[in-house]
């Protein structure tokens, strides 16, 4: 009896040893793929710059876009490490035979082509993939939940396709190594999975231009996140606190977001882009945003914000774009904006701002567009603004401005749009107006201008948009 048991255990031990040996041997030496199978994988990709793909003769590792290791086994089988076929003008579909490369394929880039059909679920068999880019194609159907099994995946880009359905929970929950997730410009719906916080290695999250709805989940654990883009969706509710140490870009424009702008957005001290326009945000612009010394692009237009522009904004010396038009802002523009020397665009139109237009704006030597229409500004046009030699759009219409039009108004060599209508400007139109040679639009209507229309207006040969001098006291031809 004892002898039989020992024989049985010895046999089982030998069997287990042989099994493990075979598995290890196969893992080490059987990972290579026969040439015929490589041809099967690429056979469904048509057209484009694939003249080197001689499926009957040449070796696949010599084909354009196919990268193998430097060795092959005695049968001529090879390890395909990367398929880099971005922008090769390919059409057709991704073959389910892609799984034949499962053991060795680490990078697959089929972006910028015209591939159609669904993403094959068998793609998830490629467990060695760390980079997957299928963007800018015509792929349809839903995102296979099985992609969540690709544990080594670091980059997943499926943007600019025709994908539908929701973002699979398994992708968000299981891909611990994921650093870049780009799904924008599809037809995705549903909500952002609540397990988003588990992607602690994530640096870039782009979900823009879809139909994603619901709340933005908690993101406080995403300490590596640098870019979050989810504009043009149907996200609702408040913006969660995002005091993330590496965050430098947030774009949540054109959603249904409400409540106040979080005060801790600048905790990272690296924020450069904050775009929250076209939502339902309320309350004051946080004073804390003035501590974002790196901020370059701030767009808050088309909300229901009130209160004044924070005095702390005078510290934003790197600011290039500032839009807060179509809100309910009141008070005056802070006088300490002389630090805005890099400012290119200032759009505060359609608010309830008042007082004089600050002469300090003349220090913004890079200013190209100044849009202050539809407010309650008074006083005259500050002559200092005419020092902004890059200015091409000046819109001060629908305010309470008065005084005469400056003789040096056309000292702005790049001015293309001059809109001063619906104010209380008086006096005559300066004859120097004819030297605004680049003007496409001139709006001086609904003021208190008088005297003769200067003949030099006839020199404005580039006027294409409109010329409006109506509702004044002008005379002449």
pLDDT tens per residue, range 19-29? 333 333 333 33
Predicted pLDDT at 17: 41
pLDDT bucket at 46, cuts 50 / 70 / 90: confident
Predicted pLDDT at 58: 66
6-15, 100-109, 357-366: which range is least confident on average? 6-15
The dihedral over CA atoms of 223, 226, 231, 235, expressed in degrees to the nearest 10, equals 0
CA atoms within 13 A on the CB side of 336: 10
In the predicted structure, residue 9 carries a pLDDT above the cut 70: no
pLDDT bucket at 80, cuts 50 / 70 / 90: confident
pLDDT digits (tens, 9 = 90+) for 386-425: 999 999 999 999 999 999 999 999 999 999 999 999 999 9
Which of 270, 276, 220 has the alpha carbon at shortest distance from 247? 270
pLDDT digits (tens, 9 = 90+) for 288-322: 999 999 999 999 999 999 999 999 999 999 999 99
pLDDT digits (tens, 9 = 90+) for 134-180: 999 999 999 999 999 999 999 999 999 999 999 999 988 899 999 99
DSSP labels for 132-154? EE--SSEEEEEPPGGGGG-TT--
d(CA 475, CA 472): 9
SS3 at position 181:
strand
User: Rounded to the nearest 5°, which phi and psi values hold at 206?
Assistant: -125, 115
Predicted pLDDT at 29: 37
């Amino acid at each position: 009896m004892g002898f039989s048991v020992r024989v049985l255990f010895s046999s089982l031990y030998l069997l287990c040893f042989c099994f493990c040996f075979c598995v290890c041997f196969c893992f080490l030496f059987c990972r290579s793929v026969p040439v015929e199978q490589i041809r099967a994988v690429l056979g469904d990709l048509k057209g484009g710059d694939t003249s080197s793909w001689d499926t009957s003769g040449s070796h696949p590792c010599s084909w354009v876009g196919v990268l193998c290791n430097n060795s092959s086994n005695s049968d001529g089988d090879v390890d395909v490490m990367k398929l880099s076929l971005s922008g090769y003008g390919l059409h057709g579909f991704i073959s389910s035979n892609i799984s034949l490369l499962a053991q060795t394929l680490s990078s697959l880039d089929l972006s910028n082509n015209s591939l159609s059909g669904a993403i094959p679920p068998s793609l998830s068999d490629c467990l060695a993939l760390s980079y997957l880019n299928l963007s800018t194609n015509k792929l349809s159907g839903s995102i296979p939940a099985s992609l969540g099994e690709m544990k080594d995946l670091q980059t997943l880009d499926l943007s600019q396709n025709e994908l539908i359905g929701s973002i699979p929970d398994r992708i968000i929950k299981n891909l611990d190594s994921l650093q870049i997730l780009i799904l924008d410009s599809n037809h995705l719906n549903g909500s952002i999975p609540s397990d988003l916080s588990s992607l602690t290695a994530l640096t870039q999250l782009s979900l823009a231009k879809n139909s994603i709805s619901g709340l933005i989940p908690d993101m406080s654990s995403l300490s590596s996140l640098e870019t979050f883009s989810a504009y043009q969706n149907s996200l609702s509710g408040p913006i969660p606190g995002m005091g993330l140490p590496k965050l430098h870009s947030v774009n949540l424009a054109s959603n249904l977001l409400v409540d106040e702008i979080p005060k801790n957005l600048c905790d990272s001290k690296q924020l450069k882009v904050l775009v929250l326009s076209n939502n339902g945000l309320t309350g004051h612009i946080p004073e804390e945003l003035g501590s974002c010394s790196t901020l370059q692009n701030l767009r808050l237009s088309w909300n229901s914000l009130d209160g004044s522009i924070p005095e702390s904004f005078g510290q934003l010396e790197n600011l290039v774009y500032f839009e807060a038009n179509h809100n309910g802002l009141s008070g005056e523009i802070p006088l300490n904006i002389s630090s805005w020397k890099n400012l290119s665009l200032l759009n505060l139109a359609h608010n309830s701002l008042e007082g004089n237009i600050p002469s300090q704006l003349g220090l913004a030597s890079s200013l190209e567009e100044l849009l202050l229409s539809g407010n309650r500004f008074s006083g005259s046009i500050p002559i200092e603004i005419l020092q902004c030699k890059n200015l091409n759009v000046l819109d001060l219409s629908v305010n309470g401005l008065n005084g005469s039009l400056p003789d040096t108004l056309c000292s702005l060599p790049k001015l293309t749009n001059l809109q001063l209508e619906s104010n209380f400007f008086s006096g005559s139109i300066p004859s120097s107006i004819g030297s605004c040679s680049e003007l496409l639009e001139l709006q001086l209507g609904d003021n208190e201008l008088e005297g003769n229309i200067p003949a030099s207006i006839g020199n404005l040969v580039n006027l294409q948009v409109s010329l409006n001098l109506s509702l004044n006291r002008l005379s002449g031809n």
